[in-house]
Each structure stands twice: as C-alpha cells, then as structure tokens.
Amino acid sequence: MLRRSAVYAQMVKTGVDHIQSKEEMSPEERAFQDRVDADIKIEPKEWMPEAYRKTLIRQISQHAHSEIIGMQPEGNWITRAPTLERKAILLAKVQDEAGHGLYLYCAAETLGVSRDELLEQLNSGKAKYSSIFNYPTLTWADIGAIGWLVDGAAIMNQVPLQRCSYGPYSRAMVRICKEESFHQRQGYDIMMKLAKGTPEQKAMAQDALNRWWWPSLMMFGPSDAESVHSAQSMRWKIKINSNDELRQKFVDQTVPQAEYLGLTVPDPDLKWNAERGHYDFGAVNWDEFYQVVAGNGPCNRQRLRTRVKAYEEGRWVREAADAYAAKKAARAQVKAA
Amino acid sequence: MTDKKEWPLWEVFIRSQHGLAHRHVGSLHAPDAEMAIMNARDVYTRRNEGVSIWVVKASEIAASSPSEKGPLFDPANSKVYRHPTFYEIPEELGHM
C-alpha cells in the first residue's frame, strides 16, 4: 500500500528556507530546474541539488517503511479471516505490500543510501512511517475499511506521483498503482458484503468506518498553505498536488461510496456545497495527528517492537544465508580453477 | 543493529509471454543468485508478467554517464545516411 507523500515528507529538514528564483540559482541548479520544468525525468546518475536528493530519500524511504509496517495491522487478521477466499485475498494483499516496500527501497537506493541504513533508521525509530498504521484493527470490518479508505487515500496520492520528476520513483509508482486498485476494490467488496449482511455485520462496517474515516483524511497531511517545503517539493515536481486538494478529492469521491453502502460518514459538518461543487467537511483533529506522528498513537510502540523483534530474531537466518552464499561462491571458484 | 555484511543488489530482467527480449523491471537484495531468482519470481511475476528471468549483480553493470551523453552519442547525429529514409527512390519503382 502506498501512503501519502506529504505525511512522509513533513519532518524533512533539507536546509531549504525559501524558494530560489532562477537568478539565485547556480548554473547547475538552473539547468536542473529547466529539466524538471520541461518534464524530463531526473535519473540516478545525473546531478541534482542536495536538498532534492535528501527530500526524495526521506520521502521514498518513509513510503517504503509504511509498506513494511502496514503489513502488521492487516496481518493481524490473516489467521482469523472469516472465509478461505478472504484469507487468500488478504495474504495476496500483504504479499503485495512487501513487494511495494521492496520496489521503494530500491528506488531510494538509487539516490545513494543503502537499504540496511534505511531499515536501521526505521528500527531505531528515527524514520517515520504513515500515521495511519498506528491505529489498531479491532474487527474484521477494519480490513475492509483499510482497503477501501486507506488504500483509496493512498491511490489518490500515488496516481499523480506517477508523473513525479524522479524517474525511479515515478516508475515504482506506475507499478504499484496497478496493484493498488486491487487492494481498494477488495476492501470495498468486504464493506459491501458486510453492509448488505445481517444487522450485526452492518453495524460492524459502520463502526469500522467511524474509526478509520478521520485517520484516513489525516493521511493527506496538514494543510500545506504555509509550508515552504511543500512549495519547494511542488516546484521540483516531487509532489504534484497540494494536501488539501487531494483531501478534498478523496472526500468527494468517497462520500458517494459510503452512501451506496448505506453507511454514515462520522462528520456532522459534512455537506454538499453546490456552489463549490464539492463536499464541505469538518475540521480534522490535528492534535491527534501530531500525537500519532510523535510516537504516541495507539499502536506506535507495538508496531516498532514487532518490527525490531523480527529483525533481531531473524539475524541468525540472514547470517546462515550469507555463510551458504560464501561457501557456494568459494566452491565455484575452486571448480573454475 | 545493522548487520556487518549487506546482501548484494541484483538487477532483474524479465521476458514477458510474447516479449522478444528481456526487459529491466527492477532490483532486489539477495545473498546469492538462486535466492535472487526466487525473490524475483515472487515479486515481479506474481501476475503472469513473464516466462524468463535474468538476475545480474548490480556491481557487474557498467553504465554510460549522463554528462558524457553529448560526446558519446554525437557521432550518430551527422550520419543521416544510416537511415533508409535518407535515400530517394523513384516513385515509379513502388515499395522498396
């Protein structure tokens, strides 16, 4: 699952304090900006501003981390999926997420960091991942809500990122987007079954929507009207749309889907605004958002603990694989001699 | 927390069902070629993307440099006669 770039990038300090005009730029920077403006993809070996490289490393790796941590809330229901078919689907989805993490780590590595370095940052708590995965999956309906809302929000963000200026990132997005639409549809499919099922099932679906709605809106990140970093990212085409733009688009698209299910969006201020041609909606609880990002959400500690435990307890297996590879390589050398 | 030794990076090439050539699809980390192929199968051919996989250690690949793009490819620019469209063939001859 791909998550919101704004959220990944929000903590990035790249040393950029204002947006340079073309006159302020060095010849290299100007040539770079011209390429970006002309929609020419930037490739790994080309010159790029250090802040561009740093921003991308941060954004792509936090994106990758989100895929890895994102396997936990859903993995939580694999053994308890209500039918064999649902279980097989969920397994396939979690597998996809591992793959998305892999694509993204590889894209980040083209910028000159190693995957092990990035994983170290994740394990030590230094690197962030999407705030959404710090919420618990309490019922089976949560798996539906995650696919529908969380992956839906992710797609909203990823589709424009396919046009992002950095070649390896944009290509990873193309690949991921294809698979992501499977995730969203299967989530909505779960919600449909529940919403049209017994009153208990429908109540379960409503409860899941109630708990995941606001965290999903938070995935788009804070309003970026005042953010210099956000403006710079847009100038560099690392980011294509503003947070609020995408959030509005998500609400406009999702509300009718909720109505189709016969479910209620948990926002008393939600109302169609014919004048704007958009839904008006209530204020997001940003205090909660910043608490979660700061590590104080419901599951932050558990998610990280699980991750570190897998890493530590898997150490001997990685070492065994290394030793075996070394032995095979040595044998091949002897044979060749 | 980092292990001392990093698994090498492998570039993955896949030939699709009706594809004529292997295409680069991405990369991955694996301790050896066998594991690299297994992982490439799991990650890159989950939806019938291909019938053949090549993996190559990234360190074995040499790439041309973008800054030398000019000098490297320049020689082709002045040799328009390498294209069949350069030659004029009388229309009455028909297709050639």
Q: Write the ipTM.
A: 0.80
Query: Which has the closest alpha carbon to A186: A144, A228, A132?
Result: A144
Residue A228: predicted pLDDT: 59
Query: Which has the closest alpha carbon to A247: A285, A208, A294, A214?
Result: A214
Could you tell me what percent of chain B has a pLDDT over 90? 52
Please give the structure tokens belonging to residue A85: 């078919």
Lookup result for tokens 């060095």: A26
Cα distance between residue A247 and residue A213, in whole Å: 12
CB contact under 8 A, B9 and A95: no
In chain A, positions 203-262, which contact chain B (CB-CB < 8 Å)? none
Strands annotated E in chain A: 271-273, 278-280
Average pLDDT of chain B, as a whole number: 88
Residue B70: predicted pLDDT: 81
CB contact under 8 A, A321 and B42: no
Query: Which residues of B fall within a CB distance of 8 Å from A312?
Result: 1
| Edge-to-edge order in the sheet of strand B9-15 | B23-29, B9-15, B52-57
User: CA geometry: angle at B34 spanning B46 and B17, to 5°?
Assistant: 35
Q: Encode pLDDT of B66-95 as tens digits.
A: 777 788 888 888 889 998 889 999 999 888
Query: Which has the closest alpha carbon to A111: A51, A29, A176, A28?
Result: A51
Position A71: which residue type? M
CB contact under 8 A, B28 and A109: no
Q: Is the pLDDT of residue B37 over 50?
A: yes
Q: Is the pLDDT of residue B3 over 70?
A: no
CA distance B54 to chain A (A): 17
In chain A, positions 92-131, which contact chain B (CB-CB < 8 Å)? 92, 95-96, 98-99, 102-103, 106, 109, 114-117, 119-120, 123-124
A307: how many CB neighbours lie within 10 A of its CB?
20
Please give the structure tokens belonging to residue A99: 């793959």
Cα distance between residue B18 and residue B49, in whole Å: 10
Please give the structure tokens belonging to residue A15: 């040393």
CB contact under 8 A, A43 and B66: yes
Cα distance between residue A94 and residue B71, in whole Å: 47
Q: Which of A115, A315, A324 faces B29 most closely, judged by CB atoms? A: A115
Longest dimension (CA), chain B: 77
Cα distance between residue A318 and residue A206, in whole Å: 44
Sign of CA dihedral A4, A13, A230, A162: negative
Residue A226: predicted pLDDT: 53
Residue A117, φ and ψ in degrees, nearest 5: -60, -45
Query: Which residues of A fall within a CB distance of 8 Å from B9?
Result: 106, 109
CB contact under 8 A, B31 and A115: no
Query: A308 with A69: CB under 8 angstroms?
Result: no
Residue B4: predicted pLDDT: 61
CB contact under 8 A, A106 and B26: yes
CA distance A323 to chain B (A): 9
Lookup result for tokens 């995935």: A219
Residue A232: predicted pLDDT: 87
Residue A225: predicted pLDDT: 67
CB contact under 8 A, A106 and B27: yes
Strands annotated E in B1-96: 9-15, 23-29, 52-57
Position A72: which residue type? Q
Per-residue pLDDT tens listing for chain A (337 residues): 334 444 444 444 555 567 778 788 888 999 999 999 999 999 998 999 999 999 999 999 999 999 999 999 999 999 999 999 999 999 999 999 999 999 999 999 999 999 999 999 999 999 999 999 999 999 999 999 999 999 999 999 999 999 999 999 999 999 999 888 889 999 999 999 999 999 999 999 999 999 999 999 999 988 876 565 788 899 999 999 999 999 999 999 999 999 999 999 999 999 999 999 999 999 999 999 999 999 999 999 999 999 999 999 999 999 999 999 999 999 989 988 8
What DSSP letter does each residue of A50-96 carry, written as one string?
HHHHHHHHHHHHHHHHHHHHHHHHHHTTGGG-SSHHHHHHHHHHHHH
